[in-house]
């Protein structure tokens, strides 16, 4: 938190702090959205902050208000998402803001959920509080995009991750890939696994790498993972070698193995489940990803972490089911025409036909460069999902 002598230079700067706070809730707050809140004086000097820390626990606004105490009276509240106005697992946040005597509320984005959808804003204004909506709106909507997608589709958010060399290779021609990325990058991967409800790889990666797929956060000096994800193998035959790490580590989380309709049964360990799926619409050798996402949603999975390899990631890309890409680029060159790349599948016939990614961010991680982008159509993916969630809510209200 900034000191009292160091005010935020703008409303956007205060909201950026709230967004950064909110991101720390990933994996712990779902199916709720990640939300952050900052309380300041009228001239934007920080008083306190808070975030939604866990599902069923207090929301961001009450946490910030409790930390401020009497200093909340007459203060300005910055919050990434419209305060709720209904009774759920916790009392309405709008009521708490009013009771605390906050004078001004700055909101990043309206909440399109049918039980909120402007109700919190209306309640605050009816109480005489000055309300400003739409500060850093796209950043706040991008933060809440996984929640908006869930409202719109009841399917989890899919993040694809890969590590590649500067010439775009994910493994050498021999198949060796340990390690392309830095230890700092690998630590991030384990944190992301622990924020996810499912970690997914293909059967080819299972055979080549014998992955563990569980978040080993403590091995990298990180705090404990908020979730124990499903470890998912996407393949057509539904086999799991008895001596592989997934078979030998029941204590590290359940395993889900997909199989195409009509395939023969094969034995699985007690902690593994076989999931029969239809084939993909355009490739009978691959599973239908939408059907898999529906099955994962039924298992309370809200975030999917797709770790590849190229065949599986390419199939998900071809089926339009990757929402976000996180790519580590290492300062190495491998070469080799037969060396693997991140995405196989059909691909696009021309460069013009390829979808343009949105919200590209680049940041150094160890010796690597981490590139993050969203795949949603349009220049404002957060707003695209916001609109989809609102439309879904309106359709639901009509029925």
Active site residues: 61
Known binding residues for Zn(2+): 59, 84, 93
CA separation, residue 365 to residues 117, 178, 186, 374 (Å)? 38, 17, 10, 19
Of the candidates 133, 139, 113, 135, the one whose C-alpha atom is nearest the C-alpha of residue 23 is 139
Instruction: Give dist(CA 340, CA 227) in Å, integer.
Output: 31
Binding region for substrate: 177, 193, 213, 216, 307
DSSP codes of every residue in 163-186? EEETTS-SS-TTS--TTSS-HHHH
Q: Interior CA angle at 23 toward 342 and 121, to 5°?
A: 125
Distance CA 340, CA 313 (A): 12
Total residue count of the chain as it appears in this document: 399
In this structure, what DSSP letter does residue 237 have? B
Neighbouring residues of 109: CB distance < 8 A, sequence distance ≥ 6: 80, 81, 82, 133, 134, 137, 140, 141, 144, 382, 386
Strands of the sheet with 358-365, listed across from one edge = 272-277, 255-260, 230-234, 198-202, 303-306, 157-165, 324-330, 368-374, 358-365
Binding residues for NADP(+): 163, 179, 205, 209, 236, 309-315
SS3 of residue 105 by DSSP: strand
Q: What is d(CA 255, CA 229) in angstroms, rounded to the nearest whole number? A: 9
Residues of each annotated binding site: 59, 84, 93, 163, 177, 179, 193, 205, 209, 213, 216, 236, 307, 309-315
């Amino acid at each position: 938190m900034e000191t009292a002598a160091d005010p935020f230079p703008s409303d956007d700067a205060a909201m950026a702090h709230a967004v950064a706070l909110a991101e720390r809730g990933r994996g712990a707050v779902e199916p709720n959205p990640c939300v952050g809140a900052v309380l300041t004086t009228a001239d934007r000097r920080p008083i306190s902050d808070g975030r939604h820390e866990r599902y069923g626990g207090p929301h961001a606004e009450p946490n910030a208000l409790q930390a401020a105490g009497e200093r909340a009276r007459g203060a300005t509240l910055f919050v990434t998402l419209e305060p709720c106005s209904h009774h759920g697992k916790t009392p309405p946040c709008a009521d708490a803001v009013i009771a605390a005597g906050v004078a001004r509320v700055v909101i990043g984005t309206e909440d399109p959920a049918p039980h909120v959808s402007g109700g919190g804003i209306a309640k605050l204004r009816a109480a005489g509080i000055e309300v400003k909506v739409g500060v850093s709106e796209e950043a706040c909507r991008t933060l809440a995009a996984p929640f908006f997608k869930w409202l719109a589709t009841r399917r989890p958010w899919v993040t694809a991750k890969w590590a590649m060399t500067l010439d775009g290779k994910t493994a050498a021609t021999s198949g060796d890939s340990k390690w392309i990325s830095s230890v700092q990058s690998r630590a991030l991967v384990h944190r992301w696994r622990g924020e996810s409800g499912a970690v997914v790889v293909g059967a080819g990666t299972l055979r080549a790498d014998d992955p563990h797929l569980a978040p080993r956060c403590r091995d990298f000096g990180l705090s404990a993972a908020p979730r124990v994800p499903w470890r998912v193998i996407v393949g057509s035959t539904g086999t799991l070698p008895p001596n592989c790490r997934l078979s030998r580590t029941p204590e590290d989380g359940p395993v889900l193995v997909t199989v195409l309709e009509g395939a023969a049964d094969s034995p699985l360990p007690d902690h593994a489940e076989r999931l029969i799926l239809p084939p993909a619409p355009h490739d009978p050798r691959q599973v239908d990803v939408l059907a898999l996402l529906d099955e994962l949603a039924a298992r309370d999975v809200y975030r999917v972490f797709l770790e590849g390899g190229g065949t599986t990631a390419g199939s998900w890309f071809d089926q339009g089911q990757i929402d976000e890409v996180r790519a580590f680029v290492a300062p190495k060159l491998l070469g080799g025409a037969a060396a693997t790349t991140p995405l196989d599948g059909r691909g696009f016939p021309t460069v013009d036909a390829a979808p343009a990614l949105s919200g590209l961010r680049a940041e150094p991680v160890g010796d690597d460069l981490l590139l993050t982008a969203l795949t949603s159509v349009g220049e404002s993916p957060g707003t695209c999902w916001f609109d989809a969630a609102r439309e879904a809510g309106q359709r639901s209200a009509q029925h």
